[in-house]
Amino acid sequence: MTLSLVGLSHHVAPVELRERVTLGLDASAELARSLGDAVCLSTCNRTELYLADVDDEQALAALGDLAGEPLDGVAYRLHEDAAALHLFRVAAGLDSLVPGEGEILGQVRSAYEAVAPGPLLDRVFRQALAVGKRVRTETAIGESPASVSSAAAALAAQVFGDLRGRRVLLIGAGRIGELAAGNLASRGAEIAFVANRTADGARELAQRFGGAALTLDELPARLGEVDVVVSSTSAPEPVLVAGDVPAKRRAPLFFIDIAVPRDLDAAIARLDGCFLYDIDDLEAVVAETLSGRRAEAERAEQLVAEEAERFRAWRASLDVVPAIASLRAHAEEIRAAELAKLNGRVSDDERRTLESVTAQILNKLLHLPTVRMKDAAVGADGAAYADAVRHLFGLEDDV
């Protein structure tokens, strides 16, 4: 079994490219199944294909088809232990735009549960979820701002200095929009309007924060009444263009687009008094929060490294486990054949005694070779040990 990874993230690709390869959960699962034994993790900041015995050139071509251009010089490819370590860091939030953010662990779980991976991917994703949970419970790396939504609120506070009395129009009533509303409200902002594709979603979130619900068609008419616009929908095309922004409005008007694909027309940034920030602009906010969480990040990295070593040992043991099983089966076959020769020559009680004694002798003889083979598996010579055992005991035909 071979483990590999092909992907794009905020580390190597701008939002203009990432948005072209971003997929919803159903589409991600469909792509994974089309490749074979695979899991597709697609979020605002990354689209990654985890593969078991699948040609990574095929996966790279699939990403290139989504992007509409070859990605040979942009996408990263990792294999075996490096691919596992990367997934563990992703699940722990260590590879995120906002290190320690909490949403990624749920996204990893959803990607894994959306398909039926084989034993190798099942193992590595289960370990990733376990280490992600450990990092969140055993470290404080997730302290504020620990998500894109909280970083967006921090960015708004930097621009205005004080958010008290500032009015916010929220576009999108999903989980990210809800988190953004909570973070902005906690800093004193007023959630004046919530716009959403479905009226019920807008109404429910608006009522929670004392605002009014809008349809997407009503957006332009309300832009002149707010100071901040935060957009986080899953729409494939922009929901707001420069022509929608009225000439008479509050100044400045601050737009935060935390959607991928982007919700807001880039031309808005060229309007007088309008300031547009997208998800990549949050990096500066994140950088200011890192110093206070560096020690916690180091602890999280230690936990991830421990899990990566456990995975490496498990993978290495796969070389010797079949040899151990064959050796024990071979020895048991010999024991059973010799006992069968005693049929009719000993009593039932004597036979039970012989069964017990020979089984104990067999276990004691094989215990130390078994332990040493498992220990050797962790090192580079595990496969050589397994081959030697197969040769010495004539087990080649059992492989």
| Helical axes 294-340 vs 382-392, angle rounded to 10° | 0
pLDDT greater at residue 103 or residue 189: 189
The string of DSSP letters for 97-129 reads SSTT-SHHHHHHHHHHHTS---HHHHHHHHHHH
Q: What is the pLDDT of residues 297-336, one digit of tens each?
A: 888 899 999 999 889 878 777 767 777 888 888 888 899 8
Integer Cα distance of 263 and 236 in angstroms = 8
Residue 383 banded pLDDT, cuts 50, 70, 90: low
For the chain, residues classed under CATH 3.30.460.30 are 3-138
pLDDT greater at residue 161 or residue 397: 161
Residue 201 banded pLDDT, cuts 50, 70, 90: confident
What's the pTM? Answer: 0.68
What is the architecture, at CATH level 2, of domain 3-138?
A: 2-Layer Sandwich (3.30)
Residue 39 token pair:
């899991």
What mean pLDDT, rounded, does the chain reach?
87
Shortest CA distance to 96 belongs to which of 108, 83, 84?
A: 108
pLDDT beyond 50 at 123: yes
Q: Residue 195 has what pLDDT?
A: 92
The string of DSSP letters for 342-384 reads TTTTS-HHHHHHHHHHHHHHHHHHHHHHHHHHHHHHHSTTHHH
Residue 294 banded pLDDT, cuts 50, 70, 90: confident
Q: State what percent of residues in the chain have pLDDT above 90.
A: 45
Q: Residue 381 has what pLDDT?
A: 63
What Å distances lie between residue 358 and 48, 114, 284, 347, CA to CA? 53, 49, 70, 16
Q: Residue 399 has what pLDDT?
A: 46
Catalytic residues: 44
Residues paired with 49 in a beta bridge: 6, 40
pLDDT beyond 60 at 380: no
Q: What is the pLDDT of residues 249-269, one digit of tens each?
A: 777 899 999 888 899 999 999
What is the architecture, at CATH level 2, of domain 148-284?
A: 3-Layer(aba) Sandwich (3.40)
pLDDT beyond 90 at 199: no
User: What is the signed CA dihedral for 272, 160, 233, 102, rounded to 10 degrees?
Assistant: 150
Q: Residue 160 has what pLDDT?
A: 82
Q: What is the mean pLDDT of residues 17-32?
A: 94
Q: Residue 374 has what pLDDT?
A: 72
Residue 291 banded pLDDT, cuts 50, 70, 90: low
Integer Cα distance of 54 and 33 in angstroms = 11
Q: What is the pLDDT of residues 322-379, one digit of tens each?
A: 778 888 888 888 998 988 888 888 888 888 899 999 999 999 988 888 887 777 766 6
pLDDT greater at residue 2 or residue 396: 2
Q: Are the beta carbons of 185 and 149 closer than 8 angstroms?
A: no
Integer Cα distance of 342 and 354 in angstroms = 10
| Helical axes 103-113 vs 80-91, angle rounded to 10° | 130
What Å distances lie between residue 253 and 40, 250, 258, 333, 395, CA to CA? 37, 6, 16, 81, 75
pLDDT greater at residue 243 or residue 159: 243
**Strand 253-257 with 38-42, pairing:** unpaired
Q: What is the mean pLDDT of residues 242-246?
A: 91
For the chain, residues classed under CATH 3.40.50.720 are 148-284
What Å distances lie between residue 57 and 61, 65, 341, 371, CA to CA? 6, 12, 58, 39
Residue 377 token pair:
């598996």
Lowest mean pLDDT among 25-29, 53-57, 116-120, 338-342: 338-342
Q: Are the beta carbons of 297 and 100 closer than 8 angstroms?
A: yes
Return the amino acid letter for 307: E
